[in-house]
């Protein structure tokens, strides 16, 4: 499993584009993977033939795990056409051959019991050599007998089901094609806290006791599954919608962030009248030249860059008893994926870019994010994030910090309001201006409220006083 982002630790195989036995060229797309950050097509690192698929569609594995084997020659036995089963077929012919001999003498004498006892250990002996492929074959029958209904289950899922005495027909799969994934089973195991005793019953003949011991530690990794509403009573009119992969990963990331950072909020009102005047005068020309609308976002992004230059400790990460200040600004822009989840593509080296470029890149990243066309580089390396719920008319938003950053800025709705202004003669008057709230969530481990407040004051000053026509 490739590293698809600096904070990505695992990925889910959503689709294999090649089958066992098929040729593949270097850099030709081999499979699709979904992570908490992005859905990506992964190219083959070399040319050859796909000789073995080690991780089926729908399974989630850690970064660095082996997914498949590519060989320079076609795999033996795969040229016959049944490519997908090439690696498993030899196992199934060996496994049946061992049992047929003992079963014949078994019926007549009372020795069948002793004949069957050696027969059970026989398959495990040859199986260790071919890795993990044989074990799934040996457990296929028992799994179906427990109500599997012929579902295609990964070896890890079959083992967990057997050890915890679970019926797969009662588990709703969230993987590709409703496949039951490891996370689905672990969520059920975690929900029924008394499940530790179950493994003793289903697998007495196998070395279940020794494999049951490691099973409990496997449950803790997906911590976000614990707050699931499994115990909540549901009525006939209630609808249970399983989390999608990106929804689940977004939830995990948000919970982890709240557990990591000392979240604190500061907010200010900003007068966007100077911005609005420029937007009104330049809107049509900008759309004609750039092909996109001139929104508030690039103005706020440009002002944020200026403010972070003055207050660099918010363009940082918390290290081991130290603050790591980043002298390059890689600006993340949070994008809503049609209510399915959030993703934060990054404008790299934003501190060297002017307003039109920021507007173009932000629009391009948002478009490609919604079309699932972002690459791993597009979401890597962010040092500060802006989230923009303003188009929905929000008043004030308390965003969650995008780890491992220490600050995230929310730009809320800009509305026409009466404000006090200074007239040319020095007196005060009432005018109608465009006003919006800028809200900053910051990590109190990194900076204090006074520093964060001065940052917001600088940001507001840039928005209200900068000669924006010069930027365009």
User: For residues 167 and 132, what is the distance between their CA atoms, to the nearest angstrom?
Assistant: 23
**Longest CA pairwise span in the chain (Å):** 116
DSSP 176-229: GGGPPPHHHHHHHHHHSTTGGGGGGTT-TTTTHHHHHTTHHHHSSS-GGGTT-S
Is 330 an active-site residue?
no
Per DSSP, what are the bridge partners of residue 410? 387, 439
Burial class (CB in 10 A: 0-12, 13-18, 19+), 368: middle
Nearest one of 308, 278, 292, 457 to 358, comparing CA atoms = 292
Contact 377, 371 (CB under 8 A): no
Contact 314, 442 (CB under 8 A): yes
Instruction: Look at the alpha carbons of 374, 378, 379, 385 in this order and tell me if their dihedral is positive or negative.
Output: negative
Helix (H, G, I), strand (E, B) or coil at 407: strand
User: For residues 170 and 230, what is the distance between their CA atoms, to the nearest angstrom?
Assistant: 13
The DSSP 8-state label assigned to residue 148 in this structure reads: I
| Residue 318 CA neighbour count, 13 Å, CB half | 16
Per DSSP, what are the bridge partners of residue 41? 32
Q: Within its chain, how far is the Cα of 62 from the centroid?
A: 12
Contact 36, 67 (CB under 8 A): no
Per the residue annotation, which of 351, 425, 444, 467 is the catalytic one? Answer: 444
Is 327 an active-site residue?
no
Residues identified as active-site: 444, 448
């Amino acid at each position: 499993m490739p590293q698809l982002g600096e904070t990505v630790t695992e990925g889910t195989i959503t689709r294999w584009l090649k089958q066992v036995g098929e040729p593949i060229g270097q850099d030709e797309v081999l499979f699709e993977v979904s992570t908490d950050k992005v859905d990506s097509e992964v190219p083959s690192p070399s040319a050859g033939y796909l000789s073995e698929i080690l991780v089926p569609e729908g399974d989630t594995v850690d970064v660095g795990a082996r997914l498949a084997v590519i060989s320079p020659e076609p795999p033996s036995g795969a040229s016959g056409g049944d490519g997908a089963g090439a690696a498993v077929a030899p196992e199934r012919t060996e496994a049946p051959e061992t049992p047929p001999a003992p079963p014949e003498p078994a019926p007549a004498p009372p020795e069948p019991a002793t004949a069957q006892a050696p027969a059970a250990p026989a398959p495990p002996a040859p199986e260790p050599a071919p890795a993990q492929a044989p074990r799934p074959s040996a457990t296929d029958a028992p799994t179906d007998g427990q109500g599997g209904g012929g579902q295609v289950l990964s070896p890890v899922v079959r083992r967990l089901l057997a050890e915890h005495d679970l019926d797969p027909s009662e588990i709703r799969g969230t993987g590709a094609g409703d496949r039951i994934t490891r996370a689905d089973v672990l969520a059920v195991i975690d929900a029924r806290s008394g499940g530790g005793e179950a493994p003793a019953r289903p697998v007495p003949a196998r070395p279940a006791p020794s494999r049951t011991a490691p099973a409990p530690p496997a449950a803790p990794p997906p911590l976000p599954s614990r707050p699931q509403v499994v115990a909540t009573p549901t009525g006939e009119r209630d609808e249970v919608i399983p989390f999608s992969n990106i929804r689940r990963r977004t939830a995990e990331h948000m919970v982890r962030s709240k557990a990591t950072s000392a979240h604190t909020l500061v907010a200010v009102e900003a007068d966007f009248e100077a911005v609005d005047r420029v937007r009104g005068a330049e809107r049509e020309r900008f759309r004609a030249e750039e092909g996109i609308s001139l929104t508030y976002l690039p103005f706020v992004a440009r002002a944020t860059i200026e403010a972070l230059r003055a207050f660099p400790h918010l363009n940082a990460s918390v290290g081991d008893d130290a603050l790591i200040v980043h002298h390059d600004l890689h600006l993340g822009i949070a994008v809503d994926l049609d209510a399915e989840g959030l993703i934060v593509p990054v404008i790299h080296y934003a501190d060297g870019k002017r307003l039109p470029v920021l507007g173009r890149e932000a629009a391009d990243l948002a478009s490609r994010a919604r079309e699932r066309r972002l690459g791993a580089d597009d979401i890597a390396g962010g040092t500060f994030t802006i989230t923009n719920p303003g188009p929905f008319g929000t008043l004030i938003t308390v965003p969650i910090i995008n780890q491992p950053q220490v600050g995230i800025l929310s730009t809320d709705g800009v509305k026409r309001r009466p404000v006090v202004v200074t007239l040319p003669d020095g007196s005060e008057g009432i005018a109608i201006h465009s006003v919006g709230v800028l809200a900053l969530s910051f990590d109190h481990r990194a900076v204090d409220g006074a520093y964060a407040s001065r940052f917001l004051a600088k940001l507001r000053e840039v928005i209200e006083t900068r000669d924006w026509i010069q930027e365009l």
